[in-house]
Chains A and B, each alone.
Chain A
């Protein structure tokens, strides 16, 4: 299995590659970084269109220079750790990747997280699935299209 990270563009992808190499060096785990490919969602739109994903994530689209603009964005911290929702009596238990329970969210809270997801999130009953093809006539920006795919 290979890993494809869809990001803003080639420049952003190169930055993310450097950061991943930093993580690789620090954690010293047996991982082949050559299995990770960074695709720009505009520059690689044709490849994206022809690729099915069985799992996916939505990430913040901003570059480092724009981070300050997101300073008050609630799309950070605890929300960034949520990896899975499990329905429980009309509410949703939020878990991180280590299956540690982070909290309990309402339907509205869950929707807010999904709308602003920045890390891999699975919702029970939604996976596995595939991405539908790009909408040819859509004039929505690429990030919105990614979100719409996720919500289907």
Chain B
């Protein structure tokens, strides 16, 4: 009896440990590396690139093909490593500041960017010379956010203009026409109707991201920080913004969402099931719809955001990723030229819209109907309206939110403590924001 049970347990352990160690491996080694630039010759220069978004690697792959064709004497092979967001930024910061082990080219997310610009010895290469030819065609505010003392350090993929995405199927069921939503009051009345007739929420009350806070501040020409970069998260504009959101929440117009904000796995599941009828997000959220919420194809329409009063600016560029060249790059000049080509050229920006579905920072493309209204484009096919109709309508109203030294602390306090206190625990807005201001100041001391 005893022998048999021993045997059984040994076999069980062996089987399970095999299974579990297999799991362990795949999740521990989340970094995947691959070499791009198949058409490069033997004399090609090898460069390395770190990113946290798989699709960014695919974009560079296409650009690399074009680059190698056009520059036979300066061909490149690119080793792309894709790592999880936190992991990549932490490793990159350690590598560039210690001067060892950094890649030649890397993606740095906007919220993380100020950390790389701190102090006097910025570990990144200034890109001013390769930027000069594109100076007049790109959106200036999208370059400023990656600059310090007139030196440009990164090129973005997109503007990230905030838009309103409406689920027309749900709205029609509630007898609401999204085109009539112009102000937050209209949005509220529409949401009340939607909840009464369908039991669904019109929007989200975000607890883990500041998209909503940013767009509401921009509409009031305000920001999280003052002109000197000091935090002011308990400003009258912030209080007005959050009191409006709390009012929407109390009227069942918006509701907290699993995952805490629309751009999370859990939340995209909720959207895909049709539990929320609108998303007020930057333009790049289109790519999440097309790639991760396939059930909603043909149901969503795009419109400008509601505002407090008609005449307020209706959009703000949010989110973003700057591609940088590190000081330790093997061939700095080549890396810089390639990054400018891959991010700013007409070819690049056309490709950014086609494969990534982003609103490129080179605005030449915005006017090119052959590109933006191409019926074969999946981002054109998915939505009921064309994104560029709305983008061109609001293009002179796109504000910016500054990204400064205090920004990472502001983001982490709001996203971990304050937003949860307001929307989950029902804490008084002013009180919560005063505490946030105090916590941020304490952290920056």
Q: Are A and B co-members of a single complex?
A: no
Interface residue ranges, A against B (CB under 8 Å): none
